[in-house]
Structure formats: structure tokens, C-alpha cells
Amino acid sequence: MLIARVIGEVVSTQKHESHKGQKIMLVQPLHLDGSNRGDAVVALDAVDAGIGDRVLLVTEGFSAMTSAGRPQSPIDMAIIGVIDHVELVE
């Protein structure tokens, strides 16, 4: 799993049948300090996240499919939580 920030929404007029009615978001993975970690990715939104939200991102196909409640869906990533607060203890 990764922490990420939602930076956009993907609009598609044609989708796989299992994606109909689901939001697809553009998310930027983050390091713990909040800086960008690699390139932005596309993820199915299972929790109604919005642009600017920090989210928990599942990045493995089977985990993404089952976490999003779409066990037969061809997805690699899913947003499964909105993060309210991160506290690092040293």
C-alpha cells in the first residue's frame, strides 16, 4: 500500500463493464514527508475520494480488485481509504 494524493479525475466514455458507475482517479504517490514519489498513476476509487485528498492506495491487482469489491475487474490499483492524519513516531 502507498499514501497518495488525488490530483485529477479520469473521464472515459467507454469502460470495461465492471468499471461502469465507478470513478477513476489520477493519484500521485507520496513519500512520508509529502513529496512526490515517482509518476502519477490511475486508480479505481472505492471510497468516493476527491481532488486534493490524501488517500490509501492498494497497488497489487488481486488486492485492488477485492478491496474495491470488484473481484473480476481488470484493475491494478484502487483507492481504499481517505487519510485524515499521519503521525510519525521516532
Number of domains in the chain: 1
- Per-residue pLDDT reduced to its tens digit, 20-70: 667 889 999 999 889 999 999 999 898 999 999 999 999 876 566 666 666
Residue 52 within a domain: yes
Residue 38 within a domain: yes
**Chain-centre distance for alpha carbon 86:** 17
Per-residue pLDDT, 67: 65
Per-residue pLDDT, 63: 66
Domain range for residue 66? 2-12+19-82
Structure pTM?
0.84
Per-residue pLDDT, 68: 61
pLDDT band at 75 (very low <50, low <70, confident <90, very high): confident
CA distance 38 to 78: 17
Of all helices (H) and strands (E), which one includes residue 76? none
> What one-character DSSP code corresponds to residue 1?
-
DSSP string, 17-75: GGGTT-EEEEEEEB-TTS-B-S--EEEEESS---TT-EEEEE-SHHHHHHHTT-TT---
